[in-house]
Amino acid sequence: GARSFKFFTSVLLACIWPLIVCIYGDDLIEQSAAVKHAAFGCRWYNRSPSFNKLLRIVIMRAQKPVLLTAGKFYIVSLATFADIGNKVYAYFTLLKRMQEE
């Protein structure tokens, strides 16, 4: 009844909240790569020397992508979310097998 609904809701929220954060982290990585591609693809040869100087700074900065990290251990992305999901599933499968024996 009400207890199982609360449990299901809390488990669902515990899964959805990290997924939403990882989606935004993945989008941040993609947007960072888009800045790099835009800087490389602009027509720098038609621009002023001051623009070219600033563009070189942007290109140097864009070499390292912008990442959102969780405690300096994990990069927040969909790949990390999938990896953690696989580890949690393996852990619960191990616990279920141990309980059955």
* Mean pLDDT of the residues in the chain: 88
Check residue 17 and give left, alpha or beta (phi > 0: left; psi -120 to 50: alpha).
alpha
Residues 6+ away with beta carbon under 8 Å from 89: none
Whether residue 84 is predicted with pLDDT greater than 80 in this model: the reply is yes
Are 77 and 29 in contact, with CB atoms under 8 Å apart?
A: yes
**Is the pTM here over 0.85, yes or no?**
no
Contact status, residue 75 vs residue 69, Cβ threshold 8 Å? yes
| pLDDT beyond 80 at 16 | yes
**Digit-coded pLDDT (tens) for 47-72:** 899 999 999 999 999 888 889 888 88
Predicted local distance difference test score (pLDDT) of residue 23: 94
